[in-house]
A and B are shown apart, each in its own frame.
Chain A
Amino acid sequence: MVGKAFFENLGESLNPVFVKEMRQYFQNRRMVIFMGLLLIVQFIVALFFASAMTLDADGDEGVAFFILIVCAGAGLSVLLCSIGAEQRFAEERSDKELNYSMLTTLKPSAVILGKLEGAMVMILCIFSMLLPFLTAAYFMRGLSAVSLLITLCLFPILVLYALAGIFAGSFGLKWVTVLYFVGIFNSAFALIPAGFSIIDDLMDRSTVDAGFWITVLVEYEIALLLGVMLFLLSLAVVSPPKSNRLLPAKIYLFALPFLSLLLMTPFYLVYGPSDFPPDVFFFIEFAFCFFSVAVLGIIAIFEMPTNSIRVYMKCPRSFIGRCLHFVFSTGFSGSLILAFLILAIPVAMYPFGKLSGDETSRLCGFLCILVSSLGYVVLSLVLSWRTKLPLPAWLWMIIFEVAGNVLAWVPVAVNGGEMHGIPFPVRIASMLISPTYCFMETIDASVASTPATAPRGGFFPLTYPHHALFWSLAVTGVLFLLLLPAVVKAFRMHCRPDDDAVKPPTKEMLKK
């Protein structure tokens, strides 16, 4: 009786979306067919391997069989839990079913969380179906018990795939689905070799040492950080357009560089400064700032200049509260201000990086790419919102990226494919307009380590990459000044204190 009551209570506390997702998963014919096929094929393959097995003590038939099982499980998980989730969610969006779910007391976060929970349970189901075959692989020899833990490393990657599917599906747009499929297809090329390499590495281990767990932990941490990002972006997409839907994502993006440091601190404490030098912190911080600024820039080009009444009405009354609310709320002004604030972290840290010359140049180049990209974002927004040209900001951005990347390589083509020999100002200009050119310049160690090729002295006593960084900062700053009136207008609208077109209800009204 107690058990029954427990399960009844458990059933009642489940997320409704999760319950619906599980019902849909198990009532989907394709799902049942694929899982049945997986079992049959695995069984036939197991029989094949068992028949080919030798009695040699050093036999390693188990390894090949194990890799086959794990790959099949991962493939089916991506197919059913990522692509399946994407397709179903996109259908829900286009059928407007999601709108009706939103008319209940369900929150958008419950919708995304329910779908994620469903996908995670299905991944577990798929791998638990494979357990008998994994055991068989172990008894076929060639595997250590440790090797079986490799499946642990797969889980966060598969969950990330599922989240990517949910994120893509949350748009309910065909072109996003196409982009998602392209992404899945391309990532397979990167992940399959990387996966085999990691499997090889881990299989060589006969015992579970600290290095193994550190590898697993880092993987889980990165998956967690990226997963939360995808979750919050999905949340923003499915939230009502008039709500402050980007608020959680912006707070998270702002916190991400600091959060990453926090997550790396245990490793510093475990390994000490000799194996975990401060440079590592610097690079990690730099990488996460880069990521946050890039994502905020992308978000900004899809945002409107102003907000809805609902957002304005929930604005805090104090001035500081309003300023913070403005910066983190939906609207491109806040995104840009946040991006510049985060950008200030690596720019300020840069002079303190005790790095070798090559690395300094590369970091400088990456900063240049980041600042220039933000410059493109600002220019796109200026053209879209401050002029009468009827193109959306994202389209301007694409035009600039394509045009910039083509133009920057014209001098190289004219110069016979060589960067050396191109006049210095042209190279700087090319770095400003093309991230790919900038990337090639900065990873080319021979270029980066020869600052003598760049003119020094005079008004700009800078080395070659620093010139590019200086000019990208200057140009982006000037472009931002052009956008400043729109930002100020948005701020004023956000902070108007006397907007009482709709008065809040009294407590008596709410009680009714």
Chain B
Amino acid sequence: MKTEVRNLTRVFGKTVAVNDISFSFEDGNIFGFIGPNGAGKTTTIRIMATLDLATSGDVFYDGVSATLYPEAVRRVVGYMPDSLPGYKDIQVWEYLDFFARSFGLKGAERTRALDDIVEFTNLGELRGKFLYALSKGMKQRVSLARALIHNPKVLIMDEPAAGLDPRARHELRTLLKILADQKKAIFLSSHILSELQDICDGAVIIEQGKLLSAGTLNDLLAQVNGGPVPSAAPAAPQPQSGETAEVSDSGAAPVAPQPQAAPKGVSITLKTPRGEAEPVRLKLLEHPLTRSVDLFDDDEVHAVIEGSDAEVSRVVGTVFAAGLTVLSFTRNQMGLEELFMKITQGKVQ
């Protein structure tokens, strides 16, 4: 199933919460939705989940408009909000049973769906407990179970890992990977970017309601790292051809904006014996492809070289050819967190 957000705009009074954003993703992928507080993430997610309506633009699920056919969309979308189940006088299984009935599941089908989801989210021992007696992590699991009770094709999650302890976060990651393996499309917002990097195939970054960058994780990191990033590739399966996340302008040419402050070229670090960094710096500066060279202490040189991997190797080769000693040579990899810090400015509307 292809989920397509097209020219989405949401205005509250004079505030433009979401400003003409477009992106798309397909099933089997986990997509992260990143942005500072007040960037418009929750607003976008609420529109995608049919809880709110866009001022203009639309969200399409396999071409079906969420504006015009919210009832049809709700059958294929599961939404896990950032708030937890609030009922006090109801047990876990009754709560899930209510949602199963609300989705029109009947008889044996409902029983099977309940058993499956309870097993999947490991809620077996909590079935008979009242919701008020659950911890935050347990409530998150109930919330996930509720979102999945009707076996949706697309799962939209708003800050699912917020407030969870490391073990619960690990469990959540595992569940998400299983769901992606089951060919579900998962779209989640989170502030824990290191975790997103571990599980996401792609990401959408917004700030002040505007799209800053979107695409597969490799593409995004390549934008700032200056090339493919084999060592920083996500643990999740790589998107196959035709499933690659893309950013489109009404289906036309990609519109992923270039990060404004992103450095041009490849960032490298050369480790030298103590006191021998300066000659290396000077040698690197001689080369026309070198954009910048910085000295750290007296044994480390940071440089940005413009060009492909082969050209970077040639530039470093000139240092060796000059007879200078280099103990190690590493290419600096920028993670999602660094990317986020680089391209966002922390502005709130």
Residues of A within 8 A of B (CB): 8, 12, 16-17, 19-20, 23-24, 27-29, 91-92, 95-97, 99-106, 240, 242, 308-310, 313, 501-506, 509-510, 512
Contacts and interface: CB of A to CB of B under 8 A. Distances in A.
B187 interface: no
Interface stretch (B18-26, B77-85, B254-262): B77-85
B102 A27 contact: no
B67 A309 contact: yes
A512 B75 CA distance: 12
Interface string B150-186: 1000000000000000000000000000000000000
Interface in B92-150: 94, 97-99, 101-104, 106-107, 130, 146, 150
In the A-B complex, the 3 residue pairs with the closest CB atoms: A95-B86, A16-B101, A104-B102
Interface centre among A96, A103, A308 (most CB of B within 10 A): A103
A92 B146 CA distance: 16
A271 B262 CA distance: 89
Contacts of A506: 63
B98 A19 contact: yes
17 contacts: A17-B102, A24-B87, A24-B90, A29-B89, A95-B83, A97-B85, A100-B79, A103-B51, A104-B102, A105-B75, A309-B54, A502-B67, A502-B68, A504-B65, A506-B63, A509-B64, A512-B64
Contact of B68 (A19, A20, A310): A310
Nearest to B101: A16
Contacts of A27: 89-91, 130
Contacts of B85: 97
Contacts of B49: 103
A310 B24 CA distance: 23
B50 interface: yes
A104 B74 contact: yes
B69 interface: yes
Given A23-B91, A509-B63, A510-B64, 5 more contacts: A27-B130, A28-B89, A308-B53, A309-B53, A313-B68
Interface range for B: 35 or more
Contacts, number: 105
Given A309-B53, A313-B68, A8 B89 contact: no
B194 interface: no
B68 A505 contact: yes
Contacts of A20: 90, 94, 98
Given A16-B101, A103-B49, A310 B64 contact: no
B72 interface: yes
B12 to A, nearest CB: 12
Contacts of A28: 89
Contacts of A96: 81, 83, 86
Given A19-B98, A100-B81, A512-B62, A505 B69 contact: yes
Contacts of B51: 99, 102-103, 240
B246 interface: no
B63 A505 contact: yes
A501 B69 CA distance: 15
